[in-house]
Amino acid sequence: MRSMLDAIESAGSTDSEAIVEALENWTDTLGTFPSYYRKWDHQLIRPSVILEIKDEISDQWDFFDVIGYTSEGVEATLADFGTPEEVACEMNAS
């Protein structure tokens, strides 16, 4: 949702083509790996967080422990999402 709101703000519009262009240029630099949408298939590139529910929940906001990520580092994350040849997805211009 944050990426969509950022894209609408960046585009200065709710026009779908303007939003897509803004999303293609959007990057979230929070965290250890920048998140972004690939231009060739619009896939969000970022490792997913693996969580575990705490045995004892101390308050309404503290109920998960982060136990890992689906990949560590830029190269591993990019490998997880594949190359254009491996994915075989093309987003045609409208």
Domain span at residue 54 reads 2-87
Query: What is the number of domains present in the chain?
Result: 1
**pLDDT per residue of the chain (94 residues) written in tens, 0 to 9:** 999 999 999 999 999 999 999 999 999 998 778 899 999 899 999 999 999 999 999 899 999 999 999 998 889 999 999 998 898 877 666 5
What is the per-residue pLDDT for 13? 96
Q: Which pLDDT does position 31 carry in this prediction?
A: 77
- Rounded to two decimals, the pTM is 0.76
Within a domain: residue 17?
A: yes
Q: What are the angstrom distances between the C-alpha of 16 and each of 1, 13, 83, 91?
A: 15, 8, 26, 14
93 lies in some domain: no
